[in-house]
Amino acid sequence: MLLKATREAVQTGIAACGPFQPYNGIGKAISSVAKKYGLAIASGLSGHGIGREYHQYPLILHCDNDDPGEMAPGTVFTIEPCLTEGNGEYTVDPLDKWSLYSIDGARGAQEEHTVMITETGVEVLTRR
């Protein structure tokens, strides 16, 4: 169920994308999926813009939020929600400073896609 929900969450987030749509619609859509399955979102993690800088703006929050901003045609960013069966709190491995572990020992899953906002909608740039 965890993997199914996480895949559904990223697809629902993508469906919320389009020219001049609010960025916070992505988080609202993903939150609705997490709630439907009784899962938590690792809310400290986010998607990000793709461009000249590493992890640049826009910051894509995967939880319900009221952040301002809307998607402009030509913008490229990731949507990468991490859902957990626990409370969503995690810690970063002190050795590799990259791996994440849930504080409560719960299982988690992450799904990621890179999208581009077009004049008429959204194009998924990544493939499985």
What is the pTM (predicted TM-score) of this model?
0.93
Q: For each of the domains in the chain, give its residue range(s) and CATH number, in order of start.
A: 2-124 (3.90.230.10)
- Residue 128, pLDDT > 80, answer no
Give the separation between CA 104 and CA 90, rounded to whole angstroms: 8
Residues near 78 by Cβ (< 8 Å), separated by ≥ 6? 47, 48, 50, 60, 112, 113, 114, 115
The predicted pLDDT at position 98 comes to 87
Confidence of residue 82 (pLDDT cuts 50, 70, 90): very high
